[in-house]
Amino acid sequence: MCGIVGGFGEKAYSTILNNMNLLHRRGPDSSGILNLECGLVLGATRLAMTDPHPRSNQPMTDDDSGNVVIFNGEIYNYLQIKKNLVSLGLKFITHSDTEVLLKALTYYGFEVIPKLQGMFAFAFFNKLSNTITLSRDFLGKKPLYYFLEGENLFFSSQINLIKKFNSYMNLDFSSVQTYLKYGYLMDPQTMYTECKAILPGELIEIDLDQKIILKKLNFTPSTFSENVSVDLKSELRKAIEERIVGHEDKFALSLSGGVDSSILAIECAHLKLPVTAYSLSWLNPDKARYNIDSELAEKTANQLQINFKKIQMPNGKNIFTHIENYVKAMGEPNANPSGLSMMELYSKIKEDGHRLVLTGDGADEVFGGYDRYRKVDLFNNFPEFNFRFLGKLIQSKSKKNYFARKASLALFNSQSDLFWNFFHQNIDNKLLNRILDTKNFSVEPKLLGSELFSSFKIPRKRLANLMFKDLRTWLSMESNRKLDRVSMWHSIEARSPFQSEQVINYGYKQMESLNFSYGNKILLHKAFPVLKTLPVSSRKAGFISPVGDWLRSNPALVQDSLTSLPAYLPFNKKELNSLYKATQNGDYTKLKLLWSLVILNYWFEFNK
């Protein structure tokens, strides 16, 4: 795992040289800078997980071609790719996936990228064509941002390095709107108009002579076109084994007490792996339900005879110190309160000397774990009418009727992004426009996911449409982003076996056989019947957080945020002040918005 950075222009070398320390958390084991004759500067820091020897440090150059790569991530099928390259006569001097990626890109070109299994963000310099190619994995597990303007090119794993290169970037107002509506940003948006994110599953080739983008290509893992030949348990077990190579003697498991992480615990116990499971509990939560998950997790670990540690979160009055570190770790506003819980969890995991954590992220989007899938399934077999105007009319007349609004979207508009928005937005456009004192929500971000219909060649079903967009948009741009930032802030690599390309392929093809009907993870329960003997929670919760208690425990923090925000944007002061009451009346929608505003204010304070 690494942090990568590169640039072209007068300031590139000095910027990288003077700011490599900003990438230290992503790669504390080594760092290097390469200044190429063409004017391109490449830098990388390394968290050495595969072939942890100096020979695999980066930037890495291919002696035969002069091509160079900087790479953040893990390629789990690199040994098979290496075997194929060796059969063609290529020679290797390391045992790393970095060298395999470098030689594969040199020999095969872009066609090898869909064949990569794992998580990655890389920059590949082709000496012959004098181009740089930037790319990210299909589920956006690893970040990559870029700035391209005139003669200046700069890219990095972190936006704060790009801001060091160009300190005059402008706030992107539409990104603020997206954040307030959903609680996070959506690629390619960032908080700055001049800086963009490489999309999950995208590659961009840039001509270094003309400083222009030659091509943008989107790819889907080639695994999705393959037949399913083994059972789910075998696929998941293989995914676990691939992700612990080199760390079989010690690693951690994030155990929430739910189905997904409990299955990982079952397999770790079966394989007799030396894993330590971690879960969170709360000292003074305002509702006892916040500790149910950790209690179940402890019972599950004990029953499976897995080492278990329960981490205590601080009380609400002391949470502000965690907010500071969380916002710094994210580098952008993210309003999911579970992020603060994860900061404490990963802090303790780091203290215990772990460098690798397995998580259950990704199972819900593939095996149907969210409660919204049950609601959508009520309409899954109804015909979809094309009278979109009728659906809009019903919507406009039923603003206070939840069922009528849901039914109108399902029957008349389930393929549109409005259908997905209904289940994901924290606030609607009307409230958003009042809060920001604007007339219109200016930009609706484009969602990813619809392309999976062609990958799996299934009819357009309502539930499939929602699940595909959850996988490609929600999981990629919120959940995986948060997991990467929090884990790497603590120099820990987090890996998610359920996001294996083979597991996803198996899951969706089996869901297809079920006509994409809500199954409440029936495929997982069928594959792992031992779940019936464990105290596993069937509800989807994860590491939930008492955000209401946090806000009530810090009235000065809340008031300061509401007072400060109008200095940065045209917030409606009257609307902001009315939100303060949410801490007492329990209006969950406004509590979420209030929390979003607190986080946003912190981000502004750190980025003045």
pLDDT band at 543 (very low <50, low <70, confident <90, very high): low
Distances (CA, A) of 420 to 30, 266, 381: 43, 33, 18
Dihedral angle of Cα 547, 552, 558, 559, to the nearest 10 degrees: 160
Residues 344-366 have a mean pLDDT of 96
For residue 171, give both structure tokens.
């706030």
pLDDT band at 279 (very low <50, low <70, confident <90, very high): very high
For the stretch 478-512, what's the b/e string if a residue is b when 16 or more beta carbons lie within 10 angstroms of its beta carbon? bbbbbbbbbbbbbbbbbbbbbbbbbbbbbbbbbbe
- Separation CA 180–CA 592 (nearest Å): 10
Is the predicted pLDDT of residue 331 greater than 80, yes or no?
yes
Contact in structure between 565 and 597 (CB atoms under 8 Å): yes
> 225-367+472-533: which CATH topology?
Rossmann fold (3.40.50)
Burial class (CB in 10 A: 0-12, 13-18, 19+), 272: exposed
pLDDT band at 421 (very low <50, low <70, confident <90, very high): confident
CB atoms within 10 A of CB 269: 17
Identify the three-state secondary structure at position 564.
helix
Identify the three-state secondary structure at position 226.
coil
Query: Which residue did the predictor score with more confidence, 264 or 375?
Result: 264
For residue 591, give the H/E element and its range: helix 588-606
Burial class (CB in 10 A: 0-12, 13-18, 19+), 575: middle
pLDDT at position 396, please? 54
pLDDT at position 441, please? 60
For residue 344, give the H/E element and its range: helix 338-351
Q: Which region among 38-42, 114-118, 342-346, 373-377 has the lowest average model confidence (pLDDT)?
A: 373-377
What percent of the chain is predicted at pLDDT more than 70?
A: 91
Q: What is the DSSP letter of 332?
A: S
Contact in structure between 161 and 5 (CB atoms under 8 Å): yes
pLDDT at position 414, please? 66
Query: Which residue did the predictor score with more confidence, 51 or 269?
Result: 269
Identify the three-state secondary structure at position 437.
coil
Could you give the strand order of the β-sheet that contains 307-313, starting from the edge strand earlier in sequence?
Answer: 307-313, 275-282, 251-254, 356-358, 493-495
pLDDT at position 413, please? 65
Tally of CA atoms within 13 A in the half-sphere of 313 that contains its CB: 30
Query: Which residue has tokens 């969380």?
Result: 326
- Separation CA 199–CA 316 (nearest Å): 36
For residue 455, give both structure tokens.
């990958």
CATH code, 2-219:
3.60.20.10
The bridge status of strand 40-46 relative to strand 493-495 is: unpaired
- Separation CA 395–CA 428 (nearest Å): 13
- Separation CA 579–CA 600 (nearest Å): 15
Is the predicted pLDDT of residue 399 greater than 70, yes or no?
no
Query: Which residue did the predictor score with more confidence, 488 or 281?
Result: 488
Instruction: With CA atoms as reference, report the closest residue to 278 among 339, 346, 340, 326.
Output: 346
pLDDT at position 440, please? 65
Question: Residue ranges of the domains in the chain?
Answer: 2-219, 225-367+472-533, 554-606
Average pLDDT, the chain: 90
pLDDT at position 180, please? 95
For residue 153, give both structure tokens.
């090119």
pLDDT tens digits, one per residue of 143-176: 999 999 988 999 999 999 999 999 899 999 999 9
Could you give the strand order of the β-sheet that contains 118-126, starting from the edge strand earlier in sequence?
Answer: 60-61, 68-75, 118-126, 131-136, 202-207, 212-218
- Separation CA 497–CA 239 (nearest Å): 5
Q: Which region among 56-70, 79-93, 433-447, 449-463 has the lowest average model confidence (pLDDT)?
A: 433-447
- Separation CA 311–CA 314 (nearest Å): 10
Partnered with residue 118 across adjacent β-strands are: 75
Q: Strand ranges (DSSP E) for 373-442?
A: none
- Separation CA 216–CA 202 (nearest Å): 7
Residues 214-218 have a mean pLDDT of 96
CA-based end-to-end distance of the chain: 30
pLDDT at position 393, please? 53
Is the predicted pLDDT of residue 394 greater than 60, yes or no?
no
Query: Which residue has tokens 């094309």?
Result: 386
- Separation CA 1–CA 292 (nearest Å): 34
Is the predicted pLDDT of residue 190 greater than 60, yes or no?
yes
Q: Which region among 1-5, 73-77, 474-478 has the lowest average model confidence (pLDDT)?
A: 1-5
Instruction: Name the phi and psi angles at 7, rounded to 5.
Output: -170, 165
Contact in structure between 28 and 10 (CB atoms under 8 Å): no
Distances (CA, A) of 27 to 71, 352, 386, 488, 606: 12, 18, 52, 8, 23
Q: What is the DSSP letter of 109?
A: G
pLDDT tens digits, one per residue of 111-136: 999 999 999 999 999 999 999 999 99
For the stretch 292-325, what's the b/e string if a residue is b when 16 or more beta carbons lie within 10 angstroms of its beta carbon? bbbbbbbebbeebebebbbbebeebeebeebbeb
pLDDT at position 376, please? 83
